[in-house]
Structures are given as structure tokens and as C-alpha cells.
Amino acid sequence: MGDLERELRDLSAWLDTPDPPDVTARVRVRLSTPASRRRRWRSLAAVAIVTVLVAVLPPTRAAIADVVTGLLRFAGVSIATGPAPTPPGGGASPLPGQRVVALDEAQRAVRFPIRLPTRLGSPEQVLVADPDATDRYRVATLLYDGGALRVDAFDGHLDLSFHKEVIPPGATWVQVNGDFAVWVDGPHVLSYVDRAGEIRRETARLAASTLIWQDNDVSYRLEGDLTKAEAIEIARSLR
């Protein structure tokens, strides 16, 4: 070991670090009471969460009803099952303020690092959406296969511990890198909940199979004509 290295180790004892606080009790409270909802919502506000409403379409497209029977919030995404919503027409994007940008420009426009799935390589097109007043965007989208395959990355995450037990039909829990993720098999209606909390149903579109997971406070949504295993493979290849 060199002199400088030794000096650094010695210096360690001289650095002023305040006495450690006792956080045991507070950690315990957060772990044992699902009632810490308030705190959760406060922290959610802090990360400026994006929420997507996913309504799983029942096999028959019955009458529209606004009643949502089951709700699951996960990774910045809400999954709701209910009586079939109207399948929207066209391929409109449910994301407000969406625009096409170059990858490096997208990286500057969002607050989180944009990661590319190595299984898919470089995206054909990059989109950002839902800017705030300072022109920072909440969502970055990577498009592949002429737009048939897409990866949405949202700034923010949701706590899944309260929702583990609830899972609507059509969606299943899977694992990505050892963490819980949600797999929605088959077409479903996708809407977007914007900054104001408004659900943008009018621009909703039909989504293909989707995998939703989160990593490092960023939530991801992979959508395309994929099998569950393929989707997980792609998710795991994010670098």
C-alpha cells in the first residue's frame, strides 16, 4: 500500500461525520404499517410520478361502464380491470406533448438516465412526452420495428408492497432481475394519467402485450407482440 493510500485511511478518522441517528423505530413503522399511505403519497409527489391506466379488455367487448372493479398500482402504472372500455380508434398516443427527438437530446430532456436494451440495440426512433414548466420531460420512449415494439421509461416509481395481493385478471406477477414485475398478456386499453391527474382516455389506444417493471426509481413499460419470456429477456438486457 502506498503512502498516499495509508494517509487516506488515516484521514478517515479525522473526517467529521455527525453521530448516526437512530432510525430503527422509523424504519420499523414504515415496514409494519401499510397505513403509512400518507408518507407514501408524499414521496410519490416528490418523484413526480407518471401513472398509466391500463384497463384489461375482457374477451367480449361489452357495454362501457365507468365503474372500475379492480385496481392495481405498480411501477408508475395503474392496472384496472372493469367492464370493457371502448376500444379507441387509431394509433393516437395517449401521452401529452409527445415529440420525436434524437437520443442525446432525449437524454438531456429527462431527469433519469436513458438505458437501452442490448437485445434490441439502438432504437429506430426516440420520443419524449409530458414536459413540465421547465421543459423537463417525464417519459422517454424508444421505438423499434416501425413502432410495433416500444419501451417507455417513466421518471418515478410506486411502492408495490401494498399491492402484492391484488392482481386483476389478465395480469400476472413475474420477476425481472429478482424484482417483481407485471405481465399483461394480450391487448388492453391504455390511457395516460397526466400531471394534473387527468386520465386521457380520449387518446387511449389498444396496447399489445406489456411488461411493466421498475429499476432504480425509473419505471419501464415494454410493449409489443412478444411472449412473456421474450419480454423478460429484453427487460433484463437494459444497460
Partner 1 sequence: MWVMRTEAPLDDEALVTRARAGDLEAYDLLVARHTASAHRTAVLLGAGSDSEDVIQEAFVKAYRKLSRYRGDASFRSWLLAIVANETRNLHRSRGRRDGLVLRAAAADPTSEIVEDDAVGAVLAGERRASLVQALRQLPVRDREVLVCRFFLDLSEEETVAALGWPRGTVKSRTSRALAKLRGLLDREEVRHG
Residues in contact with partner 1 by CB under 8 A are: 2, 4-5, 7-9, 11-18, 20-24, 26-28, 30-32, 46, 111-112, 161, 177-179, 216-217
- DSSP helix/strand/coil, 54: strand
Long-range pairs, 70-74, Cβ under 8 A, ≥24: 70/166, 70/168, 70/169, 71/166, 71/168, 72/163, 72/166, 72/167, 72/168, 72/171, 72/182, 73/158, 73/163, 74/158, 74/160, 74/163, 74/180, 74/182, 74/212
Q: Which is nearer to partner 1, 113 or 121 (CB)?
A: 113
Min dist CB 10 to partner 1, Å, is 8
Q: Which is nearer to partner 1, 11 or 229 (CB)?
A: 11
Torsion sign, CA atoms 225, 231, 237, 239: positive
Min dist CB 123 to partner 1, Å, is 23
Q: Which is nearer to partner 1, 27 or 100 (CB)?
A: 27
Alpha-carbon span 125 to 142, nearest angstrom: 6
Which of 217, 200, 215 shows the shortest CA–CA distance to 55? 200
Min dist CB 149 to partner 1, Å, is 27
Min dist CB 163 to partner 1, Å, is 12
Min dist CB 144 to partner 1, Å, is 26
Q: Which is nearer to partner 1, 159 or 223 (CB)?
A: 159
- For the beta carbon of residue 72, count every other beta carbon within 10 angstroms: 22
C-alpha cell at position 44: 410519490
Q: Which is nearer to partner 1, 46 or 133 (CB)?
A: 46
- DSSP helix/strand/coil, 58: coil
Min dist CB 12 to partner 1, Å, is 4
Q: Which is nearer to partner 1, 32 or 60 (CB)?
A: 32
Min dist CB 117 to partner 1, Å, is 18
Q: Which is nearer to partner 1, 99 or 112 (CB)?
A: 112
Contact partners, residue 60, CB within 8 Å, separation at least 6? 84
- DSSP helix/strand/coil, 46: helix
